[in-house]
Amino acid sequence: MLNQPVPPTSFSSRLRGLTAVRMTKSGERGMSLLSQLISQLLLLIVAATVLYPILWVVSMSFDPRDISRPTELRLNPFEGGLSLKAYQDVMKQPTANPVSLGQLMFNSFRLATLTGIASIIVGVFASYSFSRLRFKGRQVLMIAVLTVLMLPAIATLPALFVLLNKVQLHIGGSVFNLRNSLIGVGLAILSGSLPFAIWNMKGYLDTIPRELEEAALIDGCTPNSAFFRVTLPLSIPVLAVTFFLGFMSTWTEFATSWLFLTNPKDFTLMMALYNMIGQYSDSTPWSRFAAMSIMIALPVTIVYLFVQRYFVGGLAIGGVKG
């Protein structure tokens, strides 16, 4: 019997082979080859969309041409060589204001650090009270915290400006205005970040079994000792997440600082970055602007590397519980 010729495979049969749902070893339905290719393509597009602006800013910071009006979306860091002049100029004198980069970074760092620490110290005690205690007015206070959390931060600035501006202390021959100080800016930022800290940590504390604290009480611990020895160590993930979010939001905060502060010695990095923008696009030092942006982003990235192992669990559990 003669062998029959094999008919050519049609395009439709090949397409059905690509789109056929494959079964995994565990018996679950897996993605077809075509679905995987489409998913990979979409992920590559998303990755390119996210990474390209970052690479473009890095390229601009090393560009020796000092372009006054960047009109091209090209990555050309090696055209004409690489230059560190933009970074040197930023380190020497970021803006025309009489304040150095070190002073700007110190102002932003202490403002962000102290605000983040204050948010977790006040927030953990308030969230523990909401999670464990049953007292009169508890539901009303929780709704009030949620209401403040839903308000846009910019909407509270006029009231905070008037309130803090009334606090003036006569020290020697000078007058200390709480509004025109980093302390006042920190209090204003804390009033907006604290509701989120309380709500997020309260959700996380709800997931910690009460039986652990009861066992500690049976072993002779006082309620305060049980909190510090049992509950607080188990809350490290959400504390790290809350601190990082408070640090990041304060580090990149601009509106409150710009509205409250008038003394250049108290200016922050974001204020200096805004001062680098000229009236027109061709009057902005774009290479220095890009270098300054990268230097501002680096500390947040470093802090995230230290707390990233706590980030996913602390944020996810605290956000969905309670």
Residue-level pLDDT, tens digit, the chain, 322 residues: 445 554 555 555 554 554 555 544 555 566 778 888 999 999 999 998 988 888 888 888 887 776 766 666 666 555 666 788 888 888 888 888 888 888 999 999 999 999 999 999 999 999 999 988 888 888 898 888 888 888 888 888 999 999 999 988 887 778 888 999 999 999 999 988 999 899 889 988 988 888 888 898 988 888 889 999 989 988 888 898 889 889 999 999 999 999 999 998 999 999 999 988 876 666 788 888 889 999 999 888 887 887 777 665 544 444 444 4
Domain 90-320 has CATH 1.10.3720.10: yes
Tell me the residue type at 17.
G
